[in-house]
């Protein structure tokens, strides 16, 4: 049994209570974080850090044998409030913010009794840094987000996270967590954190509330954690140098945060706590007060924004979606079925022209679920439950009773119109018809139907497991209820939603195709393929143009290019070489060594002596500036932030550039090309 004090002390959003753990006689103090908003992530502000210091100071008057820090069901802590970081106006302010975090967390480490951090939900950034200053860390088994994402924001773990992790688990764990994972946008699940040494134990979620009490009680007598043993400095240096070599071999970046973080980790052996705090705080202040960090923090804030619903559709009411039909059973359809059954936990039926195709779609779903089980993302029981929700049929009446039907067939207007016309006969008049088209007109798709008001664009990006963006596109007659239903389903599927007007290419494909059109035209003009493929390296994009072409698929990109050329022939070309690639039946253009395959190279025009790829980057960013301005003027989206949000989440645009529009402003391209900026000076970057 445990007993708890009746009147917890409160310090801002932190409460302090006392509990006697099982088998113990003296009390343990329990600090609960974020208690004023228990269903929201625990975020650290500068006043919040002072509250933590006050709460820890309060413990001096309590006769306790241990201290336990706990978040809430959803979050142990998710780092610093981005608004606080964005408001820093000087390097000195950034340095002071870093020192405050160190001092608050060092107060935890300095307690005379052992401390324990209970990690639930996720522990990111400052949340994990706080936990690393405790003597022991235990994570609930369903914890899915443990990491130090700061380097991906152009800064570094400013409150001692990399230093503490290096001391506790070694250089490799510190680099993997603070640099490698952060640059890739990854976090660790509880089991991986245990393997790396980030946490000391993982306890089952089903018995968490009982087990953590016992686990802590059994370790109180061990006392404070002893200081780590001295490290082998030569081995430590070798690990850091190998990581630095990987950085140098990677794609170009604007941010210096990875290198600076590595330099700090390299100094750790033999370094005292005061020196670590001083050097980390100085580096944090320098990085935070930089264009890269300001842009990255803007980008990170965008990813958390709520969708901006067009005012004409804002009063719609979402209808319940308890059954979904999918027209088609191919690759995209199977991904949608897996997503919907897995996230919304509703029955999904795949339909196709014949039983063999329908059965193949079901096999694809089961294969996806099996792969998720093999990598630990799903349990066997959950995979079985999801698989049982998905059925497949060649009978057009199989979708009867569906509240929403998604069309996921090939990109041909008449085929989509016919598919919806056949589906409409099987459905209730208020069932929603959603199309996963990537570029075709929603209004045109809906035009022949008896109820065009229920048709809406629902563009989920491929691959579904990787790209979180959902473009919702109302047609000219789409009802507010259809828009509200699509948004509600997108939220249930945990998609990041942007609304787009019904314009060719919508948002992401229009911009990517405009940028991609520049290297494609250069190839048609006889430029060297290798030079063309390197021409956009200065943007720091995750893929080169030809890698992106293979990722999207030549046939898909050709279709989008043709659609955009038809809509805007004065700005979008009709790629000749790409047409030859598709006509030849090539599914990819790159060989295993990353160079153009012989088959694809043979289809290029003869090299031209006067062709020069040197100016392609300038052409590409100028084309982007022009297209963004046109999209805003045409009302494709409501504001520049919508465009930045879409390319960040739909095209993996580098966050260190802060989205397209801040980068174009910072480089002076927006004013040079369009005569004005997209953002007022000083609102996103330091210029």
- Cα first-last separation, the chain: 61
Nearest one of 340, 498, 484, 467 to 408, comparing CA atoms: 340
Which DSSP letter does residue 676 get?
S
- Quick one: how far is CA 413 from the chain centroid? 32
Q: Going by DSSP bridges, is the β-strand pair 145-147/136-140 parallel, antiparallel, or unpaired?
A: unpaired
Which CA distances in Å does 112 have to 46, 116, 258?
Answer: 25, 13, 35
Torsion of CA 668, 672, 677, 678, to 10 degrees: -90
Q: Going by DSSP bridges, is the β-strand pair 201-203/9-11 parallel, antiparallel, or unpaired?
A: unpaired
Give the per-residue SS3 of 320-365.
Answer: CCCCEEEEECCHHHHHHHHHHHHHHCCCEEEECCCHHHHHHHHHHH
Which CA distances in Å does 159 have to 113, 278, 467?
Answer: 22, 11, 31
Kind plus residue range of the DSSP H or E element containing 464: none
Sign of CA dihedral 519, 523, 527, 528: positive
Told to judge if 129 belongs to the known catalytic residues of this protein, a careful annotator would answer yes
- Please tell me whether residue 368 adopts helix, strand or coil conformation: helix
- Please tell me whether residue 637 adopts helix, strand or coil conformation: coil
Find out whether 153 and 296 touch, Cβ atoms under 8 Å. Answer: yes
Find out whether 539 and 252 touch, Cβ atoms under 8 Å. Answer: no
- The number of C-alpha atoms within 13 Å of 640 and in the hemisphere containing its C-beta is 23
Cα 309-310-313 angle, rounded to 5 deg: 90
Per-state percent for the chain, helix, strand, coil, to nearest 5:
50, 10, 35
- Quick one: how far is CA 214 from the chain centroid? 36
User: Longest Cα pair distance anywhere in the chain, in angstroms?
Assistant: 86
Catalytic residue (choose from 150, 277, 424, 627): 150
Q: How far apart are CA 639 and CA 660, in angstroms?
A: 12
Q: What is the CA radius of gyration of the chain?
A: 27
Q: Spell out the residues 6+ positions from residue 341 whose beta carbon is closer than 8 angstroms to its own.
A: 347, 348, 365, 386, 387, 389, 390
Q: Going by DSSP bridges, is the β-strand pair 348-351/324-327 parallel, antiparallel, or unpaired?
A: parallel
Cα 144-145-151 angle, rounded to 5 deg: 155
Told to judge if 233 belongs to the known catalytic residues of this protein, a careful annotator would answer no
Catalytic residue (choose from 95, 129, 277, 424): 129
Mind telling me the catalytic residues?
Answer: 129, 150
């Amino acid at each position: 049994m445990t007993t708890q004090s009746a009147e917890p002390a409160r310090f801002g959003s932190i409460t302090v209570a006392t509990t006697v753990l099982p088998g113990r006689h003296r009390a343990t103090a329990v600090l609960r974080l974020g208690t004023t908003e228990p269903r929201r992530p625990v975020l650290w502000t500068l006043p919040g850090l002072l509250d933590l210091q006050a709460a820890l100071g309060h413990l001096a008057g309590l006769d306790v044998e241990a201290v336990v820090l706990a978040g809430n069901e959803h979050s142990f802590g998710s780092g610093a409030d981005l608004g606080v970081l964005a408001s820093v106006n000087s390097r000195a302010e950034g340095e002071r913010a870093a020192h405050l975090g160190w001092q608050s967390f060092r107060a935890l480490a300095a307690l005379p009794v052992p401390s324990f951090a209970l990690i639930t939900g996720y522990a990111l950034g400052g949340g994990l840094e706080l936990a690393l200053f405790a003597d022991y860390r235990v994570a609930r088994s369903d914890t899915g987000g443990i990491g130090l994402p700061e380097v991906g924001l152009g800064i570094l773990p400013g409150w001692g996270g990399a230093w503490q992790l290096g001391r506790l688990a070694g250089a490799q764990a510190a680099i993997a967590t603070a640099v490698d994972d952060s640059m890739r946008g990854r976090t660790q699940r509880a089991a991986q954190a245990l393997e790396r040494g980030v946490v000391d134990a993982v306890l089952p979620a089903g018995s968490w509330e009982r087990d953590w009490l016992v686990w802590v009680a059994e370790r109180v007598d061990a006392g404070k954690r002893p200081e780590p043993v001295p490290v082998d400095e030569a081995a430590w240096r070798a690990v850091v140098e190998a990581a630095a070599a990987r950085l140098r071999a990677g794609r170009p970046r604007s941010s210096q945060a990875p290198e600076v973080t590595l330099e700090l980790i390299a100094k750790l052996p033999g370094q005292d706590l005061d020196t670590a705090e001083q050097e980390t705080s100085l580096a944090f202040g320098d990085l935070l007060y930089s264009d890269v960090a300001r842009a990255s923090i803007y980008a990170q804030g965008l990813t958390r924004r709520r969708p901006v619903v067009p005012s004409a559709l804002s009063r719609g009411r979402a209808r319940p979606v308890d059954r979904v039909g999918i027209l088609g059973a191919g690759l995209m359809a199977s991904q949608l079925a897996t997503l919907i059954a897995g996230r919304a936990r509703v029955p999904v039926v795949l339909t196709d022209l014949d039983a063999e195709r329908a059965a193949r779609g079901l096999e694809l779903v089961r294969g996806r679920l099996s792969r998720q089980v093999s990598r630990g993302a799903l349990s066997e029981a959950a995979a079985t439950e999801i698989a049982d929700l998905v059925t497949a049929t060649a009978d057009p009446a199989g979708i009867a009773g569906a509240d929403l039907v998604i069309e996921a067939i090939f990109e041909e207007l008449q085929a989509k119109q016919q598919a919806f016309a056949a589906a409409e006969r099987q459905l209730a008049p208020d069932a929603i018809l959603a199309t996963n088209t990537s570029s075709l007109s929603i209004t045109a798709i809906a035009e022949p139907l008896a109820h065009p008001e229920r048709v809406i664009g629902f563009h989920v990006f491929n691959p579904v497991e990787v790209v979180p963006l959902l473009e919702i596109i109302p047609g000219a007659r789409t009802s507010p209820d259809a828009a509200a239903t699509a948004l509600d389903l997108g939220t249930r599927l945990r998609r990041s939603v942007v609304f787009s007007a019904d314009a060719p290419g919508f948002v992401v494909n229009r911009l990517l195709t405009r940028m991609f059109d520049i290297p494609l035209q250069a190839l048609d003009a006889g430029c060297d393929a290798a030079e063309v493929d390197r021409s956009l390296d200065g943007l720091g994009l995750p893929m080169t143009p030809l890698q992106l072409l293979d990722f999207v698929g030549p046939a898909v990109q050709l279709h989008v290019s043709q659609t955009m050329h038809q809509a805007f022939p004065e700005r979008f070309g009709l790629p000749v070489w790409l047409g030859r690639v598709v006509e030849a039946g090539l599914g990819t253009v790159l060989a295993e060594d990353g160079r153009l395959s012989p088959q694809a190279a043979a289809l290029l025009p003869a090299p031209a002596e006067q062709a020069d790829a040197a100016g392609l980057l300038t052409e590409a960013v100028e084309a982007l500036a022009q297209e963004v301005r046109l999209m805003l003027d045409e009302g494709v989206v409501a504001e520049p932030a919508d465009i930045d949000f879409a390319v960040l989440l739909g095209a993996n645009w580098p966050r260190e550039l802060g989205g397209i529009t801040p980068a174009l402003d910072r480089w002076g391209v927006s004013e040079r090309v369009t005569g004005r900026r997209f953002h007022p000076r000083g609102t996103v970057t330091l210029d």
